[in-house]
Amino acid sequence: MAKKKILKRSWAEPFKIKVVEPIKMTTRADREKAAKEAGYNTFLLKSEDVYIDLLTDSGTNAMSDRQWAGMMIGDEAYAGSRNFYYLWDNVKKFYGMPYFVPAHQGRAAEHMISQILIKQGDYIPGNMYFTTTRLHQELAGATFVDVIIDEAHDPLNEHPFKGNVDIKKLDKLVSEVGAKKIPYVCMAGPVNMAGGQPFSMKNLKEVAQYCKQKKIKLWFDATRACENAYFIKEREKGYANKTVTQILKEMCSYFEGLWVSAKKDLMVNIGGILATKNKKVFEQARNMVVVYEGLHTYGGLAGRDMEAMAVGMEEMVEYDNIKARIGQVEYCGHQLEKYGIPFVKPIGGHAIFLDAKKFLPHIKQDQFPAQTLAAEIYLDSGVRGMERGIVSAGRDPETGKHRYPKLELVRLTFPRRVYTQAHIDVTVESIAEVYDNRKKIKGLKMIYEPKYLRFFQGRFERI
Ligand code: F0G
């Protein structure tokens, strides 16, 4: 047999499947009924009515055999659990922060840190908002100000670090309101709402230097920090030969403290972290956690959850793991490109963000193009994505009017170690089908709107 020249070598996941969970197949009629009952909001669908669930990568990851083994050695003592001390050691080792308070998930840590650092009338600059992060800052009395670079608001701009802070925007805010009104600058990486876009180490260093000069603290939403570290390794000069562990540690070194939703990078189903170098802030958080979460050695978690988190932390920095995870998102993006389907570039770390404004240009933003598109994809195939546009952006607390974000997106988020390449192919083909029929699609009308984080529970009707 003649030897064929191999053009490109493929990669595959660095694990094999040991346990499987069956999923239900549904018909179009089943899905029409389910979508209507859910008010055309994918958050309100029953999971059993979903075929491929790309709603979120939060808490939906597959744990490893080592993590599951860890679940069996939970030390469920009320105080001083062995698992807590193991987790604390790993917080020091991987995030480089000496002080740590556990929390049941990311927003619990956001709540504590916002209440501790923010005073009524303060301003919090950030590299684009995240829904829960901004809400906790606002509930603590602050006004959020977006200081991300302009490129981040343009879905087609291929800037490799669209998560960067625009120092000029930051400086403008500081000169307008004064450094005393800014308790901290909030940086997240990769930036979820921008399309999973990372910041560069160079930008982080510049922001850190600026903050130091102005005596403003710098805090880190490190929820998907390992993915940011991976992008720095792949894209930034001088980092190709560093490990993810080294890059993560260097990133964290520029911050006074950080919080993590452990439901992402750490590949667990529940958990959160608040960690800092500041002993005073730590003492306040350690006291606050007993009011809202539980004793400071479990923070709303079981011992077994903390064990799974500690093991997950050791796995999250493995290069091959992250490469396969981001590689799967890239694969999906490259397949979508073949059909000319519009989505945010460059391809993000945790998700593909379909550009609903381009996909459904005939639907006005106040008829919710992204909400509509997420519903249509579900109706076609049972694939569940999430709206990340005007519904997620909510209302301006002062004027009560809709915020009109430039980005009107549907997020297809990939849980870690859960789906195969065939699941991605099915997803892409479904989106292509919806794209072919896009001109017939009509928008939605909102018929129920809760006060906070309306995207979770809002209900819609077809126009
Ligand atoms: N920060 C970021 C960047 C997040 O993506 C999330 C959650 C949180 C904080 C809050 O953490 O959910 O554990 O309370 N993001 C999920 C998502 C919900 O689907 O992107 P949490």
User: Nearest-CA neighbor of 430 among 54, 22, 43?
Assistant: 54
Q: What are φ and ψ of residue 455, in 5° steps? A: -65, -25
Question: Which residue among 132, 353, 410 is best mutated to probe the pocket of ligand 1, counting the most ligand atoms within 8 A of its Cβ?
Answer: 132
Active site residue 388: yes
Report pLDDT digits (tens) over 428-460: 999 999 999 999 999 999 999 999 999 999 999
The span from the CA of 397 to the CA of 142, in Å, is 11
Q: Given the DSSP bridges, would you call strands 351-355 and 409-413 parallel, antiparallel or unpaired?
A: antiparallel
Percent of the chain with pLDDT over 90: 97
Please tell me what DSSP assigns to residue 165: B
Q: Which residue, chain included where needed, has tokens 């430039």?
A: 406
Contacts of 216 (CB under 8 A, 6+ apart): 174, 179, 182, 183, 184, 185
Residue with tokens 């390992």: 226
| Residue 224 near residue 244 (C-beta atoms within 8 A) | no
What is residue 105's predicted lDDT score, i.e. its pLDDT? 98
Q: Which residues pair with 197 in a beta bridge?
A: 191
Q: Is the N-terminal amide bond of 346 cis, ω within 30° of 0?
A: yes
Question: HSE-up of 460 (CA within 13 Å, CB side)?
Answer: 28
**Amino acid in the structure at residue 448:** Y
What pLDDT does residue 4 have? Answer: 73
- Separation between Cα atoms, residue 436 and residue 99, nearest integer Å: 53
221 is an active site residue: yes
CA distance 312 to 304: 12
Strand order of the β-sheet with 143-146 is 99-103, 272-276, 257-261, 217-221, 184-188, 123-126, 143-146
In the numeric block, the tokens 């020091």 are attached to 92
Taking the centre of ligand 1 as the mean of its atom positions, its distance from the CA of residue 217, in whole angstroms, is 22
164 CA → ligand 1 middle, Å: 19
Which residue has 């191999």 as its token pair?
6
Residue 98 to residue 135: CA distance in whole angstroms: 28
Do the beta carbons of residue 196 and residue 228 sit within 8 Å? Answer: no
Count Cα neighbours of 334 within 13 Å in the Cβ-side half-sphere: 7
130 is catalytic: yes
Looking at residue 8, its pLDDT comes to 82
Distance of CA 4 from the midpoint of ligand 1 (Å): 47
pLDDT score at 6: 80
pLDDT of residue 377: 98
28-57+319-462, which class in CATH? alpha beta
Crossing angle between the packed helical segments 303-316 and 319-338, to the nearest 10 degrees: 70
Please state, in angstroms and rounded to a whole number, the distance separating the CA atoms of residues 210 and 277: 19
Evaluate whether 28-57+319-462 and 65-316 have a shared fold.
no
pLDDT digits (tens, 9 = 90+) for 54-98: 999 999 999 999 999 999 999 999 999 999 999 999 999 999 999
Q: What share of the chain is helix, strand, coil (3-state, %, to 5)?
A: 45, 15, 40
Instruction: Round to whole Å and give the CA distance between 295 and 291.
Output: 8
Distance CA(358)–CA(342), nearest Å, equals 6
Give the residues across from 461 on adjacent strands: 445
List the catalytic residue out of 100, 130, 199, 331: 130
| Nearest one of 113, 103, 101 to 142, comparing CA atoms | 113
- The answer to whether the CB of 155 falls within 8 A of the CB of 355 is yes
Distance (angstroms) between ligand 1 centre and the Cα of 310 equals: 19
Mean pLDDT by 10 residues, the chain (463 residues): 75 94 95 98 98 98 98 98 98 98 98 98 97 96 98 96 98 98 98 96 98 98 98 98 98 98 98 98 98 97 98 98 96 98 97 98 98 98 97 94 96 98 98 98 97 96 95
Mutate to test the pocket of ligand 1, among 43, 104, 261, 292 (most ligand atoms within 8 A of CB): 261
Residue closest by Cα to atom 4 of ligand 1: 223
- Active site annotation includes 84: no
pLDDT at 9: 86
Domain boundaries, the chain: 28-57+319-462, 65-316
Question: Can you tell me the distance from the alpha carbon of 346 to that of 333, in angstroms, rounded to the nearest whole number?
Answer: 9
The question of whether 452 is a catalytic residue gets the answer no
Q: Which residues of 167-194 are buried (b: 16+ CB within 10 A; e: fewer)?
A: bebbeebbeebeeebbbbbbbbbbbbbb
Single out the residue of 128, 35, 61 nearest to residue 353, CA to CA: 128
pTM of the model: 0.95
- The answer to whether 26 and 448 are in contact (CB under 8 A) is no
- Cβ < 6 Å from ligand 1: which residues? 56, 58, 105-107, 130, 132-133, 188, 192, 221, 223, 261, 263, 272
CATH 3.40.50.300 fits 65-316, yes or no: no
* Ligand 1 nearest atom to the CA of residue 59, by list position: 13
pLDDT of residue 328: 97
Say whether 399 is catalytic: no
Instruction: Tell how far the Cα of 111 is from the centroid of ligand 1, in angstroms.
Output: 13
Q: How far apart are CA 5 and CA 245, in angstroms?
A: 37
